[in-house]
């Protein structure tokens, strides 16, 4: 089994190259930051070059940007070829890019439903499909899907998002089973309510919803972006070498709280 050289720290990602889709903001940026702190080099992708450039400037010399829309599935292989040529083969892929629509089932259009599935499910599939051959050549890899509380519990007004995030869990289990013999592990994180600009906007002017969330979270607080970042580091590190096909809630206990 191929091993990384030069480190005895099982939580180190030294020598690894990670790709984080949607890495310019929010949880993607937090994961990229934690990966770099753990010794990895990181390529962040996204649709907005200005956002990526700003993120790279904050992340430092071990961060690189590649503009890419995950819904552009036909160019995923070209993206991976470009990354390999410039930075080497990736050891880690984080399928994080996503979009969201909050509407009732009657108000959600078919176009909106398809757009959510295209971004999350088809986007993650195309990135994974393009990355796997390079990981097979290297003899190892870790693929991480950023799922959601809506993968685990019923939540109103987000039927398209819930369908996409539930679909992630089926992909994780199937891919973990298929790719395990190639020493490629596939896992997921299901974040709870994390303090990001998206959450702030969602809860703005809605103290009742804020209290509802906190009341069903045993730790009675929101998570920090780095809570997801360090979990991603763990799941992609040698410390998690025998974890495959798992979905790890990072939610303060909200998915099991009462």
| 12 found inside a domain | no
184-212 CB burial, b ≥16 within 10 A, e <16: bbbbbbbbbbbebeebeeebeeeeeebee
75: helix, strand or coil:
helix
| 123 found inside a domain | yes
| 4 found inside a domain | no
Which tens digit of pLDDT belongs to each residue from 44-102? 999 999 999 999 999 999 999 999 999 999 999 999 999 999 999 999 999 999 998 98
| 8 found inside a domain | no
| 153 found inside a domain | yes
14 contacts 42 by C-beta, under 8 angstroms: no
Q: Which of 161, 168, 222, 230 is catalytic?
A: 161
Q: What's the domain range around 75?
A: 17-194+225-250
Q: Is 161 known to be catalytic? A: yes
12 contacts 237 by C-beta, under 8 angstroms: yes
CATH number, domain with residue 129 = 3.40.50.720
Count up the domains in the chain and report the number.
1
| 218 found inside a domain | no
| 169 found inside a domain | yes
| 154 found inside a domain | yes
Which tens digit of pLDDT belongs to each residue from 164-209? 999 999 999 999 999 999 999 999 999 999 998 878 887 888 899 8
């Amino acid at each position: 089994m191929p091993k990384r050289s030069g480190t005895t720290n099982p939580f180190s990602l030294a020598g690894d190259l990670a790709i984080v889709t949607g890495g310019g903001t929010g949880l993607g940026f937090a994961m990229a930051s934690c990966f770099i702190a753990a010794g990895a080099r990181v390529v962040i992708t996204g649709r907005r070059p200005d956002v990526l450039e700003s993120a790279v400037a904050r992340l430092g010399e071990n961060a690189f940007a590649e503009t890419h829309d995950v819904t552009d599935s036909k160019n995923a292989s070209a993206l991976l070829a470009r990354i390999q040529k410039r930075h080497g083969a990736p050891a880690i892929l984080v399928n994080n890019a996503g979009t969201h629509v909050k509407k009732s089932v009657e108000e959600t259009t078919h176009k909106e439903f398809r757009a959510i599935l295209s971004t999350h499910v088809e986007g993650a599939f195309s990135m994974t499909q393009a990355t796997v051959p390079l990981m097979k050549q290297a003899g190892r890899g870790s693929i991480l899907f950023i799922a959601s509380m809506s993968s685990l519990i019923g939540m109103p007004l987000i039927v398209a998002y819930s369908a996409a995030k539930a679909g992630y869990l089926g992909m994780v289990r199937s891919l973990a089973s298929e790719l395990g013999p190639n020493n490629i592990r596939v896992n997921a994180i299901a974040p709870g309510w994390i303090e990001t600009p998206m959450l702030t906007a969602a809860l703005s002017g809605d103290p009742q919803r804020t209290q509802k969330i906190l009341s069903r979270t045993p730790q009675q607080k929101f998570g920090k972006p780095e809570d997801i970042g360090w979990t991603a580091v763990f799941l992609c590190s040698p410390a998690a070498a025998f974890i495959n096909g798992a979905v790890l809630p990072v939610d303060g206990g909200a998915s099991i709280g009462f």
